[in-house]
Structure 1
Amino acid sequence: MSHGNQFTLYAHKGGPNPWKVAFLLNELGLSYESIYLDFESGEHNAPEYLKINPNGRVPAIIDHKNNDFIVWESGAILLYLVEKYDVEKKYFATSEADRYAVLQWLFFQVSGQGPYYGQAAWFSYFHAEKLPSAIERYHKEIKRVLGVLESVLSKQQWLAAGKFTIADLAFVTWNDGLSRFFGDRFDFEKEFPATYNWHQRIRAVPGVKAGFDLKKELSGH
């Protein structure tokens, strides 16, 4: 079966994690088709999809030019793409020290930022009962994560390797939704100025901007 596009990306119109992958594919100029799974009808837990990702989550990619190689988990996908297709290591690093600096931030994003922000979203919007103590816990964690970023970004422009890498890219989608958690009670620019400016710099990267524009279009607002 011949594919016009090199990759199939299993995604979700609103979910933050698949967009990280779309942004990087855009930047690397790699062709892909996005399949947006419908979570309401349970497409992510359908047997066909569980063959691709046994965890039943998005994103997952299939690389049709590499024997239909499958990778799931956004952090692993970002690494796969830079190690295999970012020949100049524009979005990764060449020295050992820089590589591990990128990796530590990437791991912090997938274990520290994503899950805490995700739980904040769950208890704020989807949990059957309102649990103020749970909401408060995860809101505090969001601010703690932002504080960690601020402590470093107030001294340097990018998280690692002295340039924009997948470490920076990984944080942008979850941080873009901060107003959903706090509404008007939170002034990102005022409370975490260095992190806010960094966030705007990432958003301006062409492949990221194109992805956010499409995301906005798909969500209809």
Structure 2
Amino acid sequence: MSKPIVLYSHATGPNPWKVAIILEELKVPYTTKFINMADMKKPPFETLNPNGRVPVIEDPNTGITLWESGAIIEYLVQTYDTTATLTYTSSPERFYVSQWLHFQMSGQGPYFGQAVWFTRFHEESLPSAKKRYHDQVKRVFYVLDKALEGKQWLVGNKCTIADLSFVTWDLMLPFIFGDDTGSLELEKNYPNYFAWNKRLMERSAVKKIVKDKTEATAVHE
């Protein structure tokens, strides 16, 4: 039996929980260590990740320490998903999975992250910056909605890491838009995205991580 992977996480940050979903989906044993924001940018954590961010994993089964959520997810499926339940080994499907994983990392994550920053944390209110990144959030919905036309999942006929990688940033919508979240009218404006997101939220691994994240936030924040 595999030794548990150590997942370094933060209670509210979306990216560590993205990794946790994949660990749950693959039923890979793991333990979580929560790191305070202030401790990420100094030793000893910086010896694990010089960028001073989570997630980081330490895998005692292979001796690998790895950071960056997308790289971790690719490592997990290549190492532990021996039956390709969350990916494809065939071409072109495996490249399409990678395509969407990279879009999540280069599109959804940065745009949603900047929307959070300018909405919640920037020292001065900048309506133009808020509008820009709120519009980019909607742009991500548009892209996903168009890609999902007539489809259940982003690639092929099954849920993969391409789909699951979007879940935890989508959970940030109420934090980004607050009382205006309802104005997005997701079901009306992005029906394919809305139905897809609902399917993802019904998965047992996703339900568990949503519960775990809620409980961790209550304890650690």
What band does the TM-score fall into relative to the shorter chain? over 0.9
Match of 2:169 among 170, 174, 183: 174
Match of 1:107 among 98, 102, 106: 102
Distance in 2, Cα, partners of 1:197 & 1:178:
16
Structure 1 residue 140, shift from structure 2 partner: 0.6
The answer to whether residue 70 in structure 2 is matched with residue 65 in structure 1 is no
Which residue type is aligned with residue 215 of structure 1? K
Alignment check: 8 A CA contact 1:9 1:60 kept: yes
Distance in 1, Cα, partners of 2:67 & 2:206:
20
Distance in 1, Cα, partners of 2:214 & 2:43:
30
Match of 2:204 among 206, 210, 213: 206
Distance in 2, Cα, partners of 1:55 & 1:172:
24
Q: In the alignment, which residue of structure 2 is the partner of 1:19?
A: 17
Which residue type is aligned with residue 72 of structure 1? W
Structure 1 residue 155, shift from structure 2 partner: 2.1
Match of 1:132 among 127, 130, 150: 127
Alignment check: 8 A CA contact 2:9 2:56 kept: yes
After superposition, residues 33-48 of structure 1 pair within 5 angstroms as: 33-39=31-37, 42-48=38-44
What is the count of residue pairs matched by the alignment? 215
Distance in 2, Cα, partners of 1:49 & 1:161:
39
Distance in 2, Cα, partners of 1:203 & 1:62:
28
Q: 1:21 aligns to what SS in structure 2?
A: helix
Distance in 2, Cα, partners of 1:73 & 1:112:
15
Identity, % of aligned positions: 45
Structure 1 residue 82, shift from structure 2 partner: 0.3
Structure 1 residue 199, shift from structure 2 partner: 0.8
Q: 1:65 aligns to what SS in structure 2?
A: coil
The answer to whether residue 80 in structure 2 is matched with residue 77 in structure 1 is no
Which residue type is aligned with residue 64 of structure 1? P
Normalising by the residue count of structure 1, what TM-score does the alignment of the two structures yield?
A: 0.93
Q: Deviations over 1:12-55 (max 9, x none)?
A: 1111000011111111111111111111xx11112111111111
**More off after superposition, 138-147 vs 180-189:** 180-189
Distance in 1, Cα, partners of 2:213 & 2:3:
20
Alignment check: 8 A CA contact 2:3 2:61 kept: no
CA RMSD across the alignment: 1.4
Alignment check: 8 A CA contact 2:186 2:194 kept: yes
Unaligned runs of 5+ in 1: none
Structure 1 residue 166, shift from structure 2 partner: 0.2
Which residue type is aligned with residue 89 of structure 1? A
* Structure 1 residue ranges (4+ consecutive) displaced by more than 6 angstroms after TM superposition: none
